[in-house]
Structure 1
Amino acid sequence: MSNSLRLVIGEGLEHLEAHRAGAFAGDPEAIHQARVALRRLRSALKLFRRHLNPSARDGFNDALRALGRTLGAARDWDVFVLETVPAVMAVIPDQAEALGALVAPAQHERELGHVAVRALLEAPQTDAMLQDLGSWSGDRVAFSPRKAARQLIADEAGPLLDRLAKSVSKRATGLEEQDDEERHGLRKALKSLRYGIEMLESLHGRGNTKPYRQALSVLQEDLGRLNDAIAAVELVHRLPDQPGRLVIEAWANERRQEALIELPAAWHQFKAIPAFW
């Protein structure tokens, strides 16, 4: 178990380090990838949580969450400026002038987000935390003194994924009547499941996971479109009140309704695929 945790955490830290310079420079894809790396690290702590020292585990999780929030805020404005506004202009070209008026204030928010990312990435405490995480993940004291913690990860894969899948099912209860916050919780649970599958695959091979992964991907894409529409409205409301705001809202509401219509079918398709583990 210790070797498995060290490998998974090591991969996450390498992923983050590979994109750290780019994120510091404000590269949108690097910021996105650095955020993905942080999510994978937090998912690893969640995956192994029952076998880890609770105090240290929670401390690292909190630090990674704080770093992820800063990157997430910058990523949101990257998407708004570089993807959302151009997408709306493409489908509603007669509103290009109104939409264009949103770009300057949105770009200002984007630059503030990049400043916050740079400050956190160059902070000595960030380096120290990441180094400590790498050292801790390979140390036997990371683990709780329980018999289960000494078992091989191959023996634990099924129960670990079962726990993540049960969390997804719980979050999906009453899906068609859920509000946006509840659906966001389902989206996060699905991400944890996907990262768990990917982490265990990296250790023990892919196997016949394709049908399950494809159905999971379709469901995540639908929830992702829903989340993007909600985020676009939240962001545009932080900008000065201009006609372009109404255009973004109308576009986002249409996207939201499309995603909501498709969501039940995506969920039932996913649930119909037997768990491969």
Structure 2
Amino acid sequence: MKFKANPNLQIYGAVTMMTHLTALVQEMEGVRLARDIEAVHRMRVASRRLRATLPLFGQQLAGKRHLVWIKAMRGITRALGAARDSDVQIEHVSKFLEPLLPPNRSGVRRLLLRLRQQRLALQPQVIKELNKFEKSGVVAEIAQKLAPFDIYRDRLDVNDPGLLKLANQAIHTRLGEFLDFDAIVDQPEQIEELHAMRISAKRLRYTLETFASLFDDGLKNYLKAMRSAQDMLGAIHDCDVWAVYIPQFMDEERLRTAEYFGSVRTYKRLVPGLTLYQNARRSERESMYATFRGTWAGWKSESLWENLTAILEARLTPVVEPPQSPVENAAEISAQVEAALPEDPEQKSAASSETL
């Protein structure tokens, strides 16, 4: 089936992606300097949002070239994710340490020391991926592709059937994937599935954000619910990570102490604080899970997901064929955009070969 360009999809995608690309670029220097942990967080979010929109609009804007963009984004997003996870751990342990008194401070202070050492060790990889990303020229290439479409944002038809169809398919797909996890909400032992549910919640949230401007209320209530679901599932996952990490950390510190001092005597003073932190995370997990389960039950009793589905159907299902004038207008825009785009080096090379 031959690909057919849709100027409204191109304009909507360009406007959306340009927002995320700009946000990403603004944080690069802050990430490089590593003075503000929020710079890492903001750039990570921007990179994820950009990656979420590329499969939706990339083909319309750049053909198969968008697959190269996705690949280029993958490395920097992964490096930022590891750095952000480390920053969050350090922040949490720091706050936990503040009110503690001996004998509980030693173990938590040692944990904080190791976490900070790990974060420092991650920074070279962050810089490496950042340099690689910058040298790839992907940012400039994406911006160059988006700019000719972005200037036509005032001529966007938000009722274009093609745009509504894409939004409908994308949101329903992500919503269906998310609701498939309903069966495990009452099973707190399903650690891997709950982690997968968190990822699914994130994907649905980004998809809703992408198309929120098509709705009069911006889907505010549903985005609020998805942020809440993502936060709760994220907190549960953090506790599950600690449940595995703390015992391993204690074993490593005991071995390190024995190798350095010839005995584990000094290690013993670390145990009370580490045990206290471990128990606190376990209690936090139980509390957060109860909150999540109660919130989920509340959403179901309010028919939240059914209401969202009804709103999607009402807004995103085209009821009439588009009039002729927008189609002519779209063709005009497409021609103007094509004329504004820089010449493709690959096409130029191919043309030269044919001439020869």
Does TM, normalized by the shorter one, top 0.5? yes
**Corresponding residue for residue 32 of structure 2:** 24
Matches within 5 A, 1:12-91: 12-26=20-34, 27-48=36-57, 56-81=65-90, 83-90=91-98
CA displacement at 1:212 relative to structure 2: 2.2
Letter in 1 for 2:178: V
Matches within 5 A, 1:195-274: 195-201=206-212, 203-204=213-214, 206-207=216-217, 209-233=219-243, 236=246, 237=248, 240-241=252-253, 242-243=270-271, 244-271=273-300, 272-273=303-304, 274=307
Matches within 5 A, 1:89-128: 89-90=97-98, 92-94=100-102, 95-123=104-132, 127-128=136-137
After superposition, the C-alpha distances for 1:184-224 in whole angstroms (9 at most, x for unaligned) are: 111111111211222222x4355163332333233222112
Distance 2:61 2:234 in 1: 31
Q: Percent identity?
A: 21
Letter in 1 for 2:23: H
Are the aligned partners of 1:28 and 1:78 in contact in 2 as well (CA < 8 Å)?
yes
Moved more, 178-187 or 227-236: 227-236
Distance 1:217 1:124 in 2: 29
Are the aligned partners of 2:17 and 2:53 in contact in 1 as well (CA < 8 Å)?
yes
Q: 1:77 to 1:208 in 2, by over 3 A?
A: closer
Stretches of structure 1 that go unaligned for 5 or more consecutive residues are: 141-149
Matches within 5 A, 1:119-138: 119-123=128-132, 127-135=136-144
Are the aligned partners of 2:178 and 2:201 in contact in 1 as well (CA < 8 Å)?
yes
**Corresponding residue for residue 194 of structure 2:** 183
Letter in 2 for 1:67: I
Indicate yes or no: 2:181 matched with 1:171: yes
Q: 1:50 to 1:119 in 2, by over 3 A?
A: closer
CA displacement at 1:248 relative to structure 2: 3.0
Tell me, what secondary structure is at the counterpart of 1:173? helix
Q: 1:250 to 1:61 in 2, by over 3 A?
A: farther
Distance 1:226 1:71 in 2: 21
Distance 1:139 1:234 in 2: 50
Distance 2:57 2:232 in 1: 28
Tell me, what secondary structure is at the counterpart of 1:185? helix
CA displacement at 1:121 relative to structure 2: 1.0
Distance 1:269 1:193 in 2: 19
Stretches of structure 2 that go unaligned for 5 or more consecutive residues are: 1-8, 150-159, 254-269, 313-356
Please point out which of 191, 203, 208 is paired with 1:192. 203
Distance 1:71 1:32 in 2: 8
Distance 2:216 2:207 in 1: 12
How many equivalent pairs are there? 266
CA displacement at 1:245 relative to structure 2: 3.7
CA displacement at 1:39 relative to structure 2: 0.9
**Corresponding residue for residue 145 of structure 1:** none
Moved more, 245-254 or 13-22: 245-254
Letter in 2 for 1:254: S
Distance 1:126 1:199 in 2: 28
CA displacement at 1:47 relative to structure 2: 4.2
Larger radius of gyration: 2
Letter in 1 for 2:202: K
Please point out which of 4, 16, 20 is paired with 2:12. 4
Distance 2:204 2:165 in 1: 18
CA displacement at 1:28 relative to structure 2: 0.5
Q: Please, what is the CA RMSD of the aligned residues?
A: 3.0
Distance 1:74 1:31 in 2: 7
CA displacement at 1:38 relative to structure 2: 1.0
CA displacement at 1:12 relative to structure 2: 1.1
Are the aligned partners of 1:80 and 1:232 in contact in 2 as well (CA < 8 Å)?
no
After superposition, the C-alpha distances for 1:40-97 in whole angstroms (9 at most, x for unaligned) are: 012113445897889544443333232111111111221122x211232256544122
